[in-house]
């Protein structure tokens, strides 16, 4: 923590949601030893969320006048400050904050965004230039008669003053759950919160325009708002149609600018050839790319995952390949998702070709391991697939050999599909696919986080080692499972690390972290679905604090091991599924 004068300010209204968050933020800042101004304000009759947001501008101006020698940070009251690192606290920039949308510097500016800054947290230095910008924003807000929120006035003041301001973007990885997971990223210090009011006021308050029309983005926003207003059954059916026919993929795909597209052309061809099994051309393209460019971390991770694609797609067997759907992001790959080709590939010598789950699938293909059930299509052969939420309508026409567990089976039946009686996540087969002798252990505890938890600033115990979860190649996966078997216990927030441990019989605790329980997608049913499908007692993640020295691991560790009979059942389902392709 720095000795420079800093004050963090925020306010909240008297309703239960914001008052609770206001008290939490006050305690949060006091715990960090940060000077603060967290104030409860009156919500006048007739004032809506947008009108309250607008009050941030004069409030921030007031704080700048009250603290002329301090660096003043505004922070939305439902956010969490985990730390205030030196590169933030000691910044000499006039303005410091996150780019709009917590974006990467590769998309800096206005091409994809209507505004420059993300308003959830702002740092305003004590320089005359910075204070003039805030004073200008307050002056505009005072005289403007239309409906607008704080970020409109701040954007206007930014545009009027930016030519004389220095500024610093904070890396998106500094936000829990944002950015690209990379090994050398700084720890996250900020957790974003959302009251859910933003979408309601889109189109009702004045907006800046972007140089790009952004039709796809507006269509996606319209679709989401429309879905919220539909009856549950109608919403599920339309979501099923969108997922089955690839509409979801079209709407959520990122659009590259021309300069980025030019550099990425070679990388896209590397990915294409790795997924189609063109080994000679692939190796030539990788060599040319490495000769021409100093790869970014994202490019390095993409090439790493491409080697795993090639491992499965370039097999010498000339029979009809197996089209397999699995989730491949984020690069370089997530351990749990990449177990799908590893395990299915163990039971066939045919080539494995990726069928992206979100894209249209004309050919018959296998849906295997993972919570990707919402993307099951009429051409799918389903083996051990699960769901992360039961608020879904699944395809009734797919060939269901098995599913992860009885909860997924109930949703299949409720969607008009067949009665499925064979259960089991294919991850339970890891001890057969990669046999490991668990001998004498090392007396230590392994920590493996879900990739969405990687940036949380945890305090590890002295007897604890952290192992990486981002990987895709079978050699790296083998290294991890061998390592897991060397530890006395494993603590993990990654479900398929937990499942793998239960396949080998490694004592393991399934956890999440206090304040970050919502970081992993879904409503939590997948854990019970897995356990019941595997013939084990129900399980759900135990929420633990960020200081692992205070966690009694012995009390939360499970000593389960999946039965050989269940493994036989799951093996049979995979073999039966392959016969249908």
229 CB-side CA count, 13 A: 8
pLDDT number for residue 224: 60
Angle between helices 474-484 and 495-504 (to 10 degrees): 60
Q: Name the nearest CA neighbour of 119 among 94, 90, 145, 95.
A: 95
- At 315, phi and psi to the nearest 5? -60, 150
Q: Are 361 and 382 in contact (CB under 8 A)?
A: no
pLDDT tens string 186-204? 888 998 876 545 444 444 4
Query: What average pLDDT score do residues 483-505 get?
Result: 98
Q: Going along 463-520, which residue ranges are E strands?
A: 464-466, 489-492, 508-513
pLDDT number for residue 259: 41
pLDDT number for residue 521: 76
Query: What average pLDDT score do residues 301-320 get?
Result: 94
What CATH superfamily is the domain 6-201? Answer: Spore Coat Polysaccharide Biosynthesis Protein SpsA; Chain A (3.90.550.10)
Question: Which pLDDT band holds residue 211 (cuts at 50, 70, 90)?
Answer: very low
Q: Is the pLDDT of residue 401 over 50?
A: yes
Q: Using CA of residue 150, residue 154, residue 155, residue 160, what is the dihedral sign?
A: positive
In whole angstroms, what is the distance from residue 502 CA to residue 486 CA? 14
pLDDT number for residue 212: 44
CATH architecture classification, 430-563: 3-Layer(aba) Sandwich (3.40)
Mapping DSSP to helix (H, G, I), strand (E, B) and coil, where does residue 215 land? helix
pLDDT number for residue 213: 43
Highest mean pLDDT among 154-168, 185-199, 337-351, 384-398: 337-351
**Helix or strand (DSSP H, E) at 367:** strand 365-367
Average pLDDT of every residue of the chain: 88
Q: Is the pLDDT of residue 1 over 50?
A: no
Q: Is the pLDDT of residue 109 over 70?
A: no
Q: Is the pLDDT of residue 37 over 70?
A: yes
Calculate what percentage of the chain has a pLDDT beyond 90: 64
Least confident of 14-18, 157-161, 469-473: 14-18
pLDDT number for residue 500: 98
pLDDT number for residue 114: 77
pLDDT number for residue 200: 47
538 vs 518, which has greater pLDDT? 538
pLDDT number for residue 206: 57
Mapping DSSP to helix (H, G, I), strand (E, B) and coil, where does residue 460 land? coil
Q: Is the pLDDT of residue 572 over 90?
A: yes
Burial of 68 (0-12, 13-18, 19+ CB in 10 A): exposed
384 vs 208, which has greater pLDDT? 384
Q: How far is CA 507 from CA 35, 129, 491, in A?
A: 44, 58, 9
pLDDT number for residue 219: 56
pLDDT number for residue 202: 46
pLDDT number for residue 246: 53
Least confident of 145-159, 375-389, 478-492, 542-556: 145-159
Question: Which pLDDT band holds residue 42 (cuts at 50, 70, 90)?
Answer: confident
pLDDT number for residue 417: 96
Q: Name the nearest CA neighbour of 353 among 248, 278, 246.
A: 278
Query: What average pLDDT score do residues 106-111 get?
Result: 68
pLDDT number for residue 204: 47
Both structure tokens of 472: 């895709």
pLDDT number for residue 194: 61
Both structure tokens of 178: 């944002």
Question: Which pLDDT band holds residue 351 (cuts at 50, 70, 90)?
Answer: very high
Mapping DSSP to helix (H, G, I), strand (E, B) and coil, where does residue 383 land? strand
Question: Which pLDDT band holds residue 167 (cuts at 50, 70, 90)?
Answer: very high
Q: How far is CA 447 from CA 182, 186, 461, 482, in A?
A: 17, 19, 10, 14
210 vs 128, which has greater pLDDT? 128
pLDDT number for residue 198: 44
Q: Is the pLDDT of residue 473 over 80?
A: yes
pLDDT tens string 245-288? 555 555 445 555 454 565 678 999 999 999 999 999 999 999 98
pLDDT number for residue 102: 85
Burial of 438 (0-12, 13-18, 19+ CB in 10 A): middle
Q: Is the pLDDT of residue 376 over 70?
A: yes
159 vs 406, which has greater pLDDT? 406
Q: Are 424 and 384 in contact (CB under 8 A)?
A: yes
Query: What average pLDDT score do residues 538-544 get?
Result: 95
Tokens 């409503």 sit on residue: 523
pLDDT number for residue 475: 98
pLDDT tens string 61-73? 999 999 999 999 9
């Amino acid at each position: 923590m720095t000795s420079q004068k800093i004050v963090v300010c925020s306010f909240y209204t008297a309703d239960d949601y914001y008052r609770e968050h206001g008290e939490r933020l006050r305690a949060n800042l006091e715990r960090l030893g940060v000077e603060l101004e967290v104030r409860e304000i009156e919500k006048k009759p007739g004032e809506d969320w947008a009108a309250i947001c607008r009050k941030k501008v004069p409030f921030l101006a007031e704080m700048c006048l009250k603290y002329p020698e301090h660096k003043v940070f505004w922070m939305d009251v439902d956010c969490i400050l985990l730390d205030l690192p030196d590169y933030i606290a000691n910044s000499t920039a006039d303005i410091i904050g996150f780019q709009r949308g917590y974006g990467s510097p590769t998309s800096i500016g206005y091409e994809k965004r209507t505004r420059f800054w993300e308003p959830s947290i702002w740092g305003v230095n004590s320089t005359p230039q910075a204070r003039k910008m805030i004073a200008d924003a307050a002056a505009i807000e005072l005289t403007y008669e239309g409906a607008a929120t704080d970020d409109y006035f701040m954007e206007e003041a930014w545009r009027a003053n930016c030519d004389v301001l220095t500024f610093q973007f904070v890396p998106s990885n500094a936000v829990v759950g944002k950015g690209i997971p990379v090994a050398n990223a700084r720890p996250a210090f900020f957790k974003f919160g959302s009251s859910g009011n933003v979408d309601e006021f889109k189109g009702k308050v004045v907006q800046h325009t972007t140089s790009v029309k952004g039709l796809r983005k507006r269509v996606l926003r319209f679709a989401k708002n429309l879905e919220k207003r539909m009856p549950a059954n109608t919403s599920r059916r339309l979501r099923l149609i969108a997922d089955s026919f690839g509409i979801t993929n079209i709407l959520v795909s990122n659009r590259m600018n021309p300069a980025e597209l030019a550099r990425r052309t070679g990388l896209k061809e590397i990915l294409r050839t790795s997924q189609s099994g063109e080994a000679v051309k692939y190796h030539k393209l990788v060599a040319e790319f490495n000769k021409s460019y100093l790869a970014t971390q994202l490019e390095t991770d993409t090439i790493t995952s491409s080697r795993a694609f090639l491992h499965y797609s370039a097999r010498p067997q000339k029979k009809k390949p197996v089209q397999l759907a699995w989730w491949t992001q984020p690069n370089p790959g997530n351990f749990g998702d990449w177990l799908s080709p590893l395990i299915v590939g163990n039971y066939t010598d045919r080539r494995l070709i990726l069928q992206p789950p979100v894209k249209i699938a004309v050919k018959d293909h296998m849906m295997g391991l993972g919570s990707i059930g919402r993307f099951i299509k009429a051409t799918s052969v389903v083996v051990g697939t699960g769901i992360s939420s039961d608020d879904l309508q699944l395809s009734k026409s797919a060939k269901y050999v098995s599913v992860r567990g009885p909860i997924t089976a109930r949703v299949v039946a409720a969607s008009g599909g067949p009665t499925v009686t064979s259960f089991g996540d294919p991850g339970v087969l890891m001890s057969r696919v990669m046999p490991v002798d668990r001998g004498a252990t090392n007396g230590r505890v392994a920590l493996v986080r879900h990739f969405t938890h990687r940036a949380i600033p945890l305090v590890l115990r002295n007897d604890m080692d952290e192992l990486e979860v981002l990987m895709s190649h079978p050699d790296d996966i083998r290294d991890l499972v061998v390592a897991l078997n060397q530890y006395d216990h494993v603590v993990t927030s990654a479900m398929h690390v937990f499942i793998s441990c239960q396949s080998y019989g490694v004592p393991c605790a399934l956890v999440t972290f206090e304040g970050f329980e919502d970081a992993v997608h879904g409503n939590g049913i997948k854990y019970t679905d897995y356990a019941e499908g595997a013939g084990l007692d129900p399980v759900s993640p135990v929420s633990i604090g960020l200081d692992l020295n205070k966690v009694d691991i012995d009390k939360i560790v499970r000593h389960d091991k999946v039965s050989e009979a269940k493994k036989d059942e799951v093996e049979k389902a995979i073999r039966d599924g392959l016969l249908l392709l």
